[in-house]
Structure 1
Amino acid sequence: MAQISVEHLTFAYDGGDPLFEDLCLSLDTRWRLGLTGRNGRGKTTLLRLLAGRLPDGGAVRGRPACVLFPFSVPDPSLPAGQLLRAFAPDAPEWRCACEADRLGLRGETLARPFAALSGGEQVKCMLAALFVQEEGYCLIDEPTDHLDAEGRACVSRYLKEKDGFLLVSHDRDFLDGCVDHMLALGREEVTLCRGNYSTWEREKLRRDEAERARSEGLRREIARLDQAARRAADWAGKAEAEKHARNSGLRPDRGYLGHKAAKLMKHAKTVQARREEAAAEKRQLLREAQTAEELRFQPLRWEKASPLVRAEDLTLYYDGRPVCRADFCLQAGRRLALTGPNGCGKSTLLKAVCGVPVERTGTLATAPGLVVSAVPQDPAFLKGELTQLARREGADVTLFFTFLRKLGLERTIFSLDAARLSTGQKKKVLLALSLARPAHLYVWDEPLNYVDVLSRRQIEVLVQTADTAMLVVEHDRAFLRNIGAEILALK
């Protein structure tokens, strides 16, 4: 057991605002610790600071040897089994085989070169390499984004059996399945609690509700104090005026009237001071409340009775070999989620629906006049200034930037080259571009990879309330449940 102590850490990238300012933390390396927070809050940066990859000015103490995921593989041509042994040369072969087996990596898969494995298999291989080493604190940065639903469940079960890691993920079900503590990076505060993601979320909502109630009470108190201060000031003014008005009288009691006016004025200042204290307390409340503006958009309405997309006896091919078979009929207003293991043709089917030439047999028909808006899986192609990017993609520029702001992106990034954005920010750009292009059908390929939980909830509510059709590939089971998606399992 080791305690990692972070004492008064302040860190900023060159020319930027501080990501962390006077951060203090104490972490137990035995915890299965989940890390959450909105995109851009510094989750990956914190992992790199803990791993010693960034200068911390001596603020991180008690740092054990850390292993950071994902990592570069020195020789991707090596078979996966040999790669595991290369990372832990002193570990017995049975241990390597055991770690791989727990992640579903066996026989033929371990004999293949690492470069020839699917994205999900590579993730599992690297995780096995992390834990086959008995020494080292594992820092795991978003491992789920190349895993299908079955792979996520497998990795979650695997991690639940381990002690001692720090895990960044935005998949709520995944976190619930494997962590016993949660660390949340907010706008100004960092909170730590015992339990899984759902435990943290319930506690966060309880605190937010208590702060809202206190804020409303303070709002009423401030209004009452404002009224009391004005009334006391008016009385003091009247008493002072009465003192001078009686100067012409026979025997005015100017001392009494002056004392009365001074007392009333002192009372007014006391009330005003209490009002300022209440206002200062109110300003400190709800600074970390999980609030997000509601997203709204206007999809195009499909007035015809015909289906938007129809597939009958459809087989899609890749490099001459069949990758999937499908039969479905997508009507207006329905949401259909494609599921299945990595490599079963989900993305290929989405591309075919979007009009990309794909070798196929059978029928795949899209309705005449159908307008489709897509979110591709990989945002790496994004580059250029955002305004020009929106115009190139035919998006409503004003609506595009409105979506970005509501999804938590700061205005300061709007003038940056999109290539400089984080992967999570790029995914939000793709989502905003799609939503800013009115369409009959929204075709989204893993739209939530790297996107924070609060933004996922915004998208959920948007899809729930919009009468629009959607064809989606997404492995976040909570998201699919909440949008009421029908499931089409591809084989």
Structure 2
Amino acid sequence: MSLIKVTNLTFAYDGSYDNIFEDVSFQIDTDWKLGFTGRNGRGKTTFMNLLQGKYEYSGHISADVGFEYFPFHINHPEYLTLDVVREIFPDYVNWELMRELNLLKVSEDVLYRPFESLSNGEQTKVMLAALFLKENRFLLIDEPTNHLDMKGRRLVSDYLAGKSGFILVSHDRAFLDNCVDHILSINRTNIEIQKGNFSDWLENKQLQDNYELAENDKLKKDIKRLSEAAKRTNNWSHEVEKTKNGTRNSGSKVDKGYIGHKAAKMMKRSKSMEQRQQSAIEEKSKLLKNIETSESLKITQLAFHNSRLAQLEHVSIFYGEKTVCEDISFTIEQGERIALSGKNGSGKSSIMKLICGEDISYTGTVRVGSKLKISYVNQDTSHLQGNLTDYARGEGIDESLFKAILRKLDFSRIQFEKDMAAFSGGQKKKVLIAKSLCEQAHLLVWDEPLNFIDVISRMQIEELLLQYAPTILFVEHDREFCDHIATKVVEL
């Protein structure tokens, strides 16, 4: 066991006025299985780059171990997978590699195929196997689930549960719960470490948030009451003070000493109330700093003239000579939330594209309602560039609504001025989801919409879909999301 010590860390990117980290200090035990969470753009990947010495910073980071980052950059994807592993770790021992691949249910024959011919899931597993061959290294694992189907996620999560000595960035709640024993969270104003899995952290956070909200309400009422009481007492003391120079109604002389003493006493009471009020204000200012704003989102979906929006009967899809999927039959009824499920390569994305009208070779029957309007979110965000205002105009959506949705998904106003090309992966996906929610459509078709999106935003989107019940066909490998949202599952 050794410690990674972070002391007074402050960092901002060149040309930016905003610090990503400001004077933060904490310690990490290198034996931990550490889950790393926080809203998109808070600096999770940046922190892992700082650990690797990629940027200059102020403060101090000390460690007795070296760091390895996943995913690796593959210089020659055309090489055999065995040679790619050798580039990652020249001194690997063959039986150890076989042991790791066996734990990940990867057959030995993949080593003798070009790395680029492997599926995304196979590539992920091979790189993880190579990662865990290295000794005396603390492993920085950045979003390994993005290219894994649900079965692959369970397998990799079980694999990581048997390991230790890593930071894991993932926004999949079930995945984290199964394989971490501590949570490092980047909050709005600080960084915290808690023992336990993600559900433990979330429960503690909700308890803390609820306590602070209750204290905030109590202090707001106290401040108002004390302010009004101090004002009344202050007014009374001034009124009493005025009578020193007057006479009583009976015509007798005024006891100026008594009245002055009484006015001073009332003024002292007023000052005491003001001090208590100021103390309450200071106490209130310590609250709510780390409460994540997760306001409800609002959408309106167009009603279709028919209860049935689309129907597939005995559909098989082909790419050249290859059959991607075969004999698929299901209907999309108004109000249904349908999850397309199946392993990677089973044709989920192809079925979505077929329904959206793309030119795909198939047999069988596809019926799509006349004048059906579809809002499609695909997996690719690489085309996003330029500013949000121009993007909204180009897509023909309401700019104010578009930006309001992004604000609720934790975009700061300064983010609106930046080029989308500089956004994090999660922020780019939020742009596509916000655009889709702004579009006037009868059917939402979302292909892995939650890749890279933080947990709080996932929960907001869940709440939205449950509240407004739009008709949606989606592919998503986040088990919690599917369990909460789907009214029907189509297994390929």
Q: Report the TM-score, using the length of structure 2 for normalisation.
A: 0.96
Instruction: Identify the match of residue 451 of structure 1 among 447, 450, 453.
Output: 453
Residue type of the alignment partner of 1:113 = P
In structure 1, what is the Cα distance between the partners aligned to 2:239 and 2:126?
83
Instruction: Identify the match of residue 414 of structure 1 among 413, 416, 421.
Output: 416
Contact 1:440 1:469 in 2 (8 A): yes
In structure 1, what is the Cα distance between the partners aligned to 2:394 and 2:357?
19
Contact 1:50 1:63 in 2 (8 A): no
Contact 1:226 1:275 in 2 (8 A): yes
Aligned to 2:6: 6
Residue type of the alignment partner of 1:466 = Y
In structure 1, what is the Cα distance between the partners aligned to 2:345 and 2:253?
103
Instruction: Identify the match of residue 407 of structure 2 among 397, 405, 413.
Output: 405
Deviation, 1:88, is 3.1
Corresponding residue SS for 1:289: coil
Once the two structures are overlaid, the 10-residue window that deviates more, 148-157 or 50-59, is: 50-59
Corresponding residue SS for 1:258: helix
Corresponding residue SS for 2:109: helix
In structure 1, what is the Cα distance between the partners aligned to 2:396 and 2:377?
14
Residue type of the alignment partner of 2:95 = W
In structure 2, what is the Cα distance between the partners aligned to 1:14 and 1:247?
75
In structure 1, what is the Cα distance between the partners aligned to 2:47 and 2:247?
73
Residue type of the alignment partner of 1:155 = V
Q: Does 1:149 align with 2:156?
A: no
Aligned to 1:73: 74
Contact 1:87 1:133 in 2 (8 A): no
In structure 2, what is the Cα distance between the partners aligned to 1:21 and 1:69?
26
Deviations along 1:135-180, whole A, 9 cap, x unmatched?
A: 3110011111111111111110010000100011110011001000
Contact 1:385 1:414 in 2 (8 A): yes
Deviation, 1:101, is 1.4
Q: Does 1:42 align with 2:36?
A: no
Residue type of the alignment partner of 1:13 = Y
Deviation, 1:64, is 1.9
Task: State the 4+ residue runs in structure 1 displaced beyond 4 angstroms.
Answer: 247-251
Aligned to 1:298: 300
Q: Does 1:336 align with 2:335?
A: no
Residue type of the alignment partner of 1:194 = K
In structure 1, what is the Cα distance between the partners aligned to 2:41 and 2:92?
38
Aligned to 1:478: 480
Unaligned 5+ segments in structure 2 are none
Q: Does 1:367 align with 2:369?
A: yes
Deviation, 1:337, is 0.9
Residue type of the alignment partner of 1:416 = K
Corresponding residue SS for 2:283: helix
Instruction: Identify the match of residue 377 of structure 1 among 376, 379, 392.
Output: 379
In structure 2, what is the Cα distance between the partners aligned to 1:464 and 1:181?
31
Contact 2:293 2:408 in 1 (8 A): no
The percent of aligned pairs where both chains have the same amino acid is 45
Deviation, 1:294, is 0.3
Q: How does 1:79-478 map to 2 (within 5 A)?
A: 79-246=80-247, 251-305=253-307, 307-325=308-326, 326-478=328-480
In structure 2, what is the Cα distance between the partners aligned to 1:110 and 1:149?
24
In structure 2, what is the Cα distance between the partners aligned to 1:21 and 1:7?
11
In structure 2, what is the Cα distance between the partners aligned to 1:281 and 1:454?
27
Residue type of the alignment partner of 2:241 = E
Corresponding residue SS for 1:457: helix
Residue type of the alignment partner of 1:371 = K
Contact 2:4 2:28 in 1 (8 A): yes
Deviation, 1:251, is 4.8
Corresponding residue SS for 1:383: coil
In structure 1, what is the Cα distance between the partners aligned to 2:460 and 2:354?
28
Unaligned 5+ segments in structure 1 are none
Deviation, 1:120, is 1.4
In structure 1, what is the Cα distance between the partners aligned to 2:160 and 2:83?
22
Contact 1:85 1:93 in 2 (8 A): no
In structure 1, what is the Cα distance between the partners aligned to 2:475 and 2:449?
8
Deviation, 1:58, is 4.7
> CA RMSD, aligned part only?
1.6
Deviations along 1:52-83, whole A, 9 cap, x unmatched?
A: 22223351112520001122113222222333
Corresponding residue SS for 1:36: strand
Pair 1:105–1:81, CA change in 2 (3 A): farther
In structure 1, what is the Cα distance between the partners aligned to 2:319 and 2:57?
48
Deviation, 1:256, is 2.5
Q: When the two structures are aligned, how many residues end up with a matched partner?
A: 489
Contact 1:35 1:43 in 2 (8 A): yes
Deviation, 1:226, is 1.4
Contact 1:84 1:96 in 2 (8 A): no
Corresponding residue SS for 1:82: helix
Contact 1:138 1:166 in 2 (8 A): yes
In structure 1, what is the Cα distance between the partners aligned to 2:203 and 2:334?
36
Deviation, 1:4, is 0.6
Aligned to 2:28: 27
Contact 2:219 2:281 in 1 (8 A): yes
Once the two structures are overlaid, the 10-residue window that deviates more, 415-424 or 20-29, is: 415-424
Q: Report the TM-score, using the length of structure 1 for normalisation.
A: 0.96
In structure 2, what is the Cα distance between the partners aligned to 1:149 and 1:110?
24
In structure 2, what is the Cα distance between the partners aligned to 1:484 and 1:328?
15
Deviation, 1:422, is 1.4
Once the two structures are overlaid, the 10-residue window that deviates more, 204-213 or 104-113, is: 104-113
Deviation, 1:96, is 0.5
